[in-house]
Amino acid sequence: MEKQNLSVIIANPSGNITIFVLTPIPKSQYSLIANKLLSINHFKAEQVCFIKEMNLDTNIQGSMEMSGLEFCGNASRAFALLIAKQHGLTGLNYIKVSVSGSPQPLNVLVNPSLNRAEISMPLPRNIEILKNQNPSCLNSASLIEFDGIIHIILQDIPASQEIFQDIKASIMKTHNPAALGVMFYDTEKKQMIPIVYVRDVDTTYFEGSCASGTTALCISLSQNHQNGVYMFRVSQPAGELIASVEKQDNKINKITIDGKVSISEIQTITI
């Protein structure tokens, strides 16, 4: 494959560093391009996203796909803020985006002046409390399934690559999702360490933060709550995310994730 120039933007949504590729790339090359970009050490990136369209004059203002076609809430809200900044918007604006791993477009409330983006997250497809599992650390763990990613919530178990690999072997065998996250949550410190595996690009990262994992954690923490809106601040290795869970008749109506996002200027790189 010949060398090629790519236009990219580096976004940092609460520490979950994402490379956005503006140059059109065929889907068949996503994995190859993503792995080359992730190998550039000075970016310190954890994931790659390919932008398909940005247009404020349409009902859906942007379309993008993650390199493994998984869902990523942090990349989605960063993408909406990127659109607003590229079009010179100021103040509060709603941006609707179509993203991989979500069957419906998502609304994002952005404030370019404050570098913040709050996304309405997709609701889970399935919620389970696991029993009779191997490895045993999965017993009593929550499994939260979204389109495009499954999250396992482990409480008060220290984060380790060994535990993650044991869980990955089990869950990929039974479910084989596009992406798998294991969220290690310390209930006393209210801190979460996310580890995420993306199947099609075969990457595993201790992530700086994880929006969909934060969503899954807050679904788990609000399981026994009834009607109302419940707010959670979740500290993560490289940033903090704020989640809001709205429940009625013991059912989840809405979940939002809010946090800071920094976005670079457009850069041209050769790979």
Cβ neighbours, 10 Å, residue 104: 12
Label residue 2 by pLDDT band (50, 70, 90): confident
* CA 166 vs CA 113, 138, 146, 201: distances in Å: 44, 10, 21, 19
Pick the CATH number of 5-119+260-270 from 2.60.40.1930, 1.10.10.10, 3.40.190.10, 3.10.310.10: 3.10.310.10
* pTM, full prediction: 0.93
Label residue 250 by pLDDT band (50, 70, 90): confident
What's the pLDDT tens digit per position in 161-200? 999 999 999 999 999 999 999 999 999 999 999 999 999 9
- Please report the beta strands in the chain, taking only residues with DSSP state E, as ranges in sequence order: 5-13, 18-21, 47-54, 62-66, 93-99, 106-111, 116-120, 126-129, 142-146, 149-155, 179-186, 191-198, 203-206, 228-236, 239-248, 251-263, 267-270
| Residue 1 reports pLDDT greater than 80 | no
pLDDT at 57: 92
Q: Is the peptide bond before 135 cis (omega within 30 degrees of 0)?
A: yes
How confident is the model over 1-12, as a mean pLDDT? 92
| Residue 82 reports pLDDT greater than 80 | yes
Longest Cα–Cα distance in the chain: 58
| Residue 226 reports pLDDT greater than 90 | no
Strands 267-270 and 179-186, sheet pairing: unpaired
How confident is the model over 111-115, as a mean pLDDT? 97
What's the pLDDT tens digit per position in 231-249? 999 999 999 999 999 999 8
Instruction: Say what percent of the chain tops pLDDT 90.
Output: 96
pLDDT at 26: 97
How confident is the model over 8-18, as a mean pLDDT? 97
Assign domain 126-258 to a CATH class. alpha beta
What's the pLDDT tens digit per position in 52-79? 999 999 999 999 999 999 999 999 999 9
What's the pLDDT tens digit per position in 28-50? 999 999 999 999 999 999 999 99
| Residue 224 reports pLDDT greater than 90 | no
Every domain of the chain with CATH number 3.10.310.10 lies at 5-119+260-270, 126-258
